[in-house]
Chain A
Amino acid sequence: MRSANDLYQAWRNLEDLPRFIDHLHSVEQISPTVSRWVTKGPFGQEATWEAEIIDDRPGERIVWRTRPGSNVESAGTISFDPLSPDRGTIVRVSLEYLPPGGKVVAAFGKMTGDDAQGQVRNALHRFRQVMETGEVAVVKGQSVGAGRDDGAGGDDSERMTDSDVRDVAGKDVQ
């Protein structure tokens, strides 16, 4: 469990964000409020944009939006709300975005399971892991036996699938 201020400080250090956000390749701080973001998109496709912090309240929240002329349009807020002592801090992210190419790429994103909601959820779990334990829980690259290439395959062979989740939680789980 970490304080709102610790969590704000860690997130505000934007160049560290690729550690938490799976598909982010790099973030470069180019002025106190402006940063350049580069993603690792699906199928090797890369997207880049400049983001500007438009509201910055230390220990509370950060609001940003992409600058005019970026090939991705997005805006987002991350907020840090302290709970009672020994209960931790609630971190909330809201994100609106239009990826390059609009709907077509969004459809591909959905097919590969890389929907925005899942990405945000994944980033927040990793953020908590790093802030509480100092590292990201990882199995990718561990020792494994033969016959692995059924089903999931490739880099995602360690990931759970929707079908695994349905097997234990029933069909009504999204």
Chain B
Amino acid sequence: MKAVCWRGTKDVRVEEVPDPKIMNPRDAVVRVTSTAICGSDLHLYNNVFKGMRKGDIIGHEFMGEVVAVGSAVKNLKEGDRVVVPFHLSCGACFFCKMGEWSACDNTNPNAAEIEPAFGGPVPGMFGYTHITGGYAGGQAEYVRVPFADVGPLKVPAGIPDEKVLFLSDILPTGWFGAENCGVRPGDTVAVWGCGPVGLLAIHSLFVQGAERVIAIDSVPERLEKARAFGAETVNYEAESIFEALHDATGGRGPDACLDAVGMEAHGHGVMGAIDRVKQALKIESDRPAVLRQMIRVCRKAGTISLIGAYSGMVDTFPIGIAFNKGLKFRMGQTPVHRYNRLLLEKIIEGTLRPESIISHTLPLDQAPKAYEIFEKQQDGCTKVVFKPGMNGRQAAPVDA
């Protein structure tokens, strides 16, 4: 089959690879009908999120049709149409039982290697680094789905892929980041980053009852999409984020600040330049420019919600300001299984319309170009969806 494989910094290739097989009783194999590039895939593309190996099949936002199931999978059958969460969950451990699906104990083959650093294993994820298990991903014609009796969400016929594909990650992630803001009536929330996750966080914040959302970015097309979801906007290249947010809130600051940028924040001036050098020299793995801005501008006793991905260490973190302002921090990988059924209902009833962020629909073999324009934020690129079946025949039958 064809798959998008990681080779190194800014080097992804569409390669012919072996078809996936059932390897465990709880596995399924899915024929991918739609798959997207996530903003967090760009951290791999830029080789700043470590633990990748040459040849890794990337991609963790995908959906498709079940073509094979293992002996222990009783809830799915061939032909079922499913959206698959980006992280793997066993459904039986201490964490899954309490609804913390993205803290699952049992799905990472590298659990023992990770434990000394993290205190316990982070769960497996599709198409990401070997820190999250190194599972082959979904930017491919077929994908192996372990723990398939727990993860995949069946979707009814008649709804186009575009409306439900983002239940795999970015819609639950935007919703989770919004929920972590603890919105109360009258609240103003500032959102850093109007990429796919930021836009869906804005959308979710309004559905959850925020009065005002102020969206921050520098790309005109992205700010325009934020306005289409009802946000006010700040272009940080034209005005000071601190002054704009203070002015908009009468000097109090936003009730909550949501980071949909993560570890590769652009940053400004001397500090932004120093962060780039520190990241290149491995003194810090992540650039915390957005974090510092949020801590400074958020109202006292407000909430900081992080959904943009962080991988490791940051430097010059203003913990004293955060402490003395009494800020609350909420963060993490989204427990997709907690939200995907609820959000499917909201899509069906028309409350959520995540498909409006899609800018490009392409065949899989366009992946290298698609990564390039998405990374450079060119060509109005806000979200790329690949259709592996778009150019004729979809590979060979699966040997399962």
What separation, in Å, do the CA atoms of A87 and B24 have in the docked complex? 27
User: Are B72 and A134 neighbours in the complex by a CB distance under 8 Å?
Assistant: yes
| Interface residues in A125-166 (C-beta closer than 8 Å to B) | 125, 128-129, 132-148, 150-152, 157-160, 164-165
User: Are A138 and B112 neighbours in the complex by a CB distance under 8 Å?
Assistant: no
Closest to A148 in B: B55
Q: Min CB distance, A65 to chain B, in Å?
A: 25
Decide yes or no whether B3 CB sits under 8 A from chain A.
yes
Contact of A128 among B106, B116, B133 (CB under 8 A): B106
What separation, in Å, do the CA atoms of A168 and B52 have in the docked complex? 13
Contact of A143 among B18, B51, B54, B282 (CB under 8 A): B18
User: Are A168 and B72 neighbours in the complex by a CB distance under 8 Å?
Assistant: no
Contact of A165 among B54, B55, B108, B113 (CB under 8 A): B113
Q: Min CB distance, A1 to chain B, in Å?
A: 6
**CB-defined contacts of A121 to chain B, threshold 8 Å:** 112, 115
Q: Assess A143 versus B20: contact at CB under 8 Å? Given A133-B106, A134-B25, A137-B146.
A: yes
Q: Min CB distance, A11 to chain B, in Å?
A: 17
**CB-defined contacts of A150 to chain B, threshold 8 Å:** 53-54
User: Are A125 and B121 neighbours in the complex by a CB distance under 8 Å?
Assistant: yes
What separation, in Å, do the CA atoms of A174 and B5 have in the docked complex? 31
| Interface residues in B112-133 (C-beta closer than 8 Å to A) | 112-118, 121, 124, 129-131, 133
User: Are B110 and A145 neighbours in the complex by a CB distance under 8 Å?
Assistant: no
Decide yes or no whether B228 CB sits under 8 A from chain A.
no
User: Are B312 and A167 neighbours in the complex by a CB distance under 8 Å?
Assistant: yes
Decide yes or no whether B56 CB sits under 8 A from chain A.
yes
Q: Assess A173 versus B117: contact at CB under 8 Å? Given A133-B92, A138-B109.
A: yes
**CB-defined contacts of B178 to chain A, threshold 8 Å:** none
Q: Min CB distance, B20 to chain A, in Å?
A: 5
User: Are A144 and B55 neighbours in the complex by a CB distance under 8 Å?
Assistant: yes
Contact of B55 among A122, A129, A133, A146 (CB under 8 A): A146
User: Are B23 and A141 neighbours in the complex by a CB distance under 8 Å?
Assistant: yes
**CB-defined contacts of A159 to chain B, threshold 8 Å:** 110, 113, 130
Contact of A133 among B19, B20, B26, B109 (CB under 8 A): B26
Closest to B118 in A: A169
**CB-defined contacts of B265 to chain A, threshold 8 Å:** none
Q: Min CB distance, A143 to chain B, in Å?
A: 5
Contact of B56 among A86, A128, A144, A168 (CB under 8 A): A144
- Chain A, interface residues (CB within 8 Å), range: 35 or more
User: Are A135 and B57 neighbours in the complex by a CB distance under 8 Å?
Assistant: no
User: Are A174 and B116 neighbours in the complex by a CB distance under 8 Å?
Assistant: yes
Closest to B72 in A: A134
**CB-defined contacts of B105 to chain A, threshold 8 Å:** 128, 132
User: Are B17 and A145 neighbours in the complex by a CB distance under 8 Å?
Assistant: yes
User: Are A168 and B55 neighbours in the complex by a CB distance under 8 Å?
Assistant: no
Q: Assess A160 versus B130: contact at CB under 8 Å? Given A135-B26, A148-B54.
A: yes
**CB-defined contacts of B88 to chain A, threshold 8 Å:** 137
Closest to A162 in B: B113
Contact of A142 among B112, B117, B118, B144 (CB under 8 A): B144
User: Are A143 and B144 neighbours in the complex by a CB distance under 8 Å?
Assistant: yes
**CB-defined contacts of B135 to chain A, threshold 8 Å:** 139, 142
Decide yes or no whether B13 CB sits under 8 A from chain A.
yes
Decide yes or no whether A118 CB sits under 8 A from chain B.
yes
Decide yes or no whether B97 CB sits under 8 A from chain A.
yes
Q: List 11 A-B contacts (CB under 8 A).
A: A132-B93, A133-B91, A133-B92, A139-B135, A145-B13, A146-B5, A146-B54, A158-B134, A160-B51, A165-B113, A169-B313
* Chain A positions near chain B (C-beta within 8 angstroms): 1, 86-88, 118, 121-122, 124-125, 128-129, 132-148, 150-152, 157-160, 164-165, 167-170, 173-174
In the A-B complex, the 7 residue pairs with the smallest Cβ-Cβ separation, listed nearest first, are: A145-B5, A169-B117, A147-B54, A168-B312, A145-B55, A122-B112, A167-B50
7 additional contacts, CB 8 Å, given A132-B90, A144-B17? Answer: A118-B112, A133-B91, A137-B109, A137-B111, A145-B55, A146-B55, A164-B129
